[in-house]
């Protein structure tokens, strides 16, 4: 079972009733995953609701070329695999612990019961899913129409908007992304990503930082995004 105090602090569940929280507490469990450990594979039956409490999870698809397309990096306070769970489908992608991670699990039967009994939980989930669908739709549009430079810029600007912190020298984004991960998220070759980001570092556009990456000038990055339109 998950500590009720932890459940109460989760933004998604902060507005639900005490009865709903109590049921969630009784029926959920905590699973610890080590960095690199598989959580599920594409094609596995979707039997549980997954919610990240600590650490990070990478959701990705394995392409026929042997490369991986990273669909999302799930952080504390975010769920994954919900659409497949609700529809009764198999998982459409793979999930692996990007870091050591603590994940809340709730069996599908109990999850659907929670939605049926407590409308406020359904509303919260629908709101979150709508946000994710809009974000994914926008990302697919960028992948289909923009060049690699623009796609990388869009990715970094999205992170800056969602979690960036202004400080002396620019906007700090506390997310560590390897060049392989960036390539996987924008659908590009690693060598291309390395070349572009090395040039940006030299031109004072984006720098690696101990906590993640630093963007000295958001407008300069936006300008680079708008300049590149060829796939």
pLDDT at 131 (0 to 100): 67
pLDDT at 231 (0 to 100): 47
* Token pair of 74 as six digits: 């799930």
Q: How many other C-beta atoms can be found within 10 angstroms of the C-beta atom of residue 1?
A: 11
Ordered mean pLDDT values, 10 residues apiece, the chain (231 residues): 74 78 87 97 94 94 83 88 88 95 94 84 71 64 72 88 87 90 88 94 91 91 75 47
Handedness of CA 76, 81, 82, 83 (dihedral sign): positive
- In the chain, the domains with their CATH numbers are 4-119 (2.60.120.10), 144-227 (1.10.10.10)
* Token pair of 92 as six digits: 């459409």
Give yes or no for a contact between 180 and 216, defined as CB atoms under 8 angstroms apart: no
- Model-level pTM greater than 0.85? no
């Amino acid at each position: 079972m998950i500590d009720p105090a932890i459940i109460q602090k989760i933004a998604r569940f902060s507005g639900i009733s005490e009865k709903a929280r109590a049921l969630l507490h009784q029926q959920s469990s905590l699973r610890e995953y080590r960095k690199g450990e598989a959580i599920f594979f594409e094609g596995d039956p979707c039997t549980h609701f997954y919610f990240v409490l600590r650490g990070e999870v990478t959701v990705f698809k394995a392409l026929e070329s042997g490369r991986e397309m990273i669909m999302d990096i799930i952080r504390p306070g975010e769920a994954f695999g919900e659409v497949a769970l609700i529809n009764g489908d198999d998982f459409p992608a793979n999930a692996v612990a990007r870091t050591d991670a603590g994940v809340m699990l709730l069996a599908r039967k109990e999850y659907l019961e929670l939605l049926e009994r407590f409308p406020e939980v359904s509303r919260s989930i629908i709101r979150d899913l709508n946000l994710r669908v809009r974000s994914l739709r926008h990302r697919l549009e960028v992948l289909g129409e923009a060049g690699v430079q623009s796609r990388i810029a869009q990715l970094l600007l999205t992170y800056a908007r969602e979690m960036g912190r202004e400080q002396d020298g620019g906007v700090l984004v506390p997310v560590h992304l390897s060049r392989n991960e960036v390539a996987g998220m924008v659908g590009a070759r690693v060598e291309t990503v390395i070349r572009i980001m090395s040039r940006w570092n030299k031109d004072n556009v984006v720098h690696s930082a101990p906590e993640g990456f630093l963007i000295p000038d958001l407008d300069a990055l936006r300008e680079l995004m708008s300049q590149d339109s060829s796939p």
